[in-house]
Amino acid sequence: MAQKWGLDQCYEFDSAGTHGYHVGSPPDRRAQWAAAKRGYDLSGLRARQVEIADFHRFDRILAMDYENLSQLTHLCPPQERGKLGLLLHYAKTGLEEVPDPYYGGPEGFEYVLDLIEQAIAGLLGRPVRSAYAPGSR
């Protein structure tokens, strides 16, 4: 999204998990499919676990849910804790946590991508209209 809006030189985004379950693995095929439908290529991504250097490197560390935020808080050096927050804080969805679509169908991945797009748009200061709403398909 930053690239689409000409902001890719201003921001650096990364993704990491609080647990090492899938380190080195590509994103779930359903996530790749949902992302590809919207023009995002996730095929080159590989899972990694958050590391202490991330807390110093990045201006913001945003969690998908309270459980991961708690894990990040535990790992984070005290002087860097002001960087922590929830991703959906930047979306106007009324939700606080991104639901885990893993055990559901492909529509769950589309819904999660909608939430993430709204949050990133809010973070970047740009409005975005939801492409998917539960029950609309």
Would residue 71 count as lying in a domain?
A: yes
Q: How many domains is the chain built from?
A: 1
Q: How far apart are CA 59 and CA 33, in angstroms?
A: 30
Radius of gyration of the chain (CA): 15
- Measured in residues, the chain has a length of 137
Contact 117, 35 (CB under 8 A): no
pTM, two decimals, is 0.85
Residues 96-114 have pLDDT tens digits of: 999 999 998 889 999 999 9
Would residue 137 count as lying in a domain?
A: no
pLDDT at position 74 over 80: yes
Average pLDDT in the 61-71 region?
97
Would residue 45 count as lying in a domain?
A: yes
Contact 63, 54 (CB under 8 A): no
Residues 9-63 have pLDDT tens digits of: 888 889 999 998 899 999 999 999 999 999 999 999 999 999 999 999 999 999 9
Would residue 3 count as lying in a domain?
A: no
pLDDT value of residue 10: 82
Would residue 73 count as lying in a domain?
A: yes
The three-class DSSP label of residue 85 is strand
Partners of residue 81 on adjacent β-strands? none
Q: How far apart are CA 67 and CA 45, in angstroms?
A: 23
Q: Structural domain of residue 34, as residue ranges?
A: 29-124
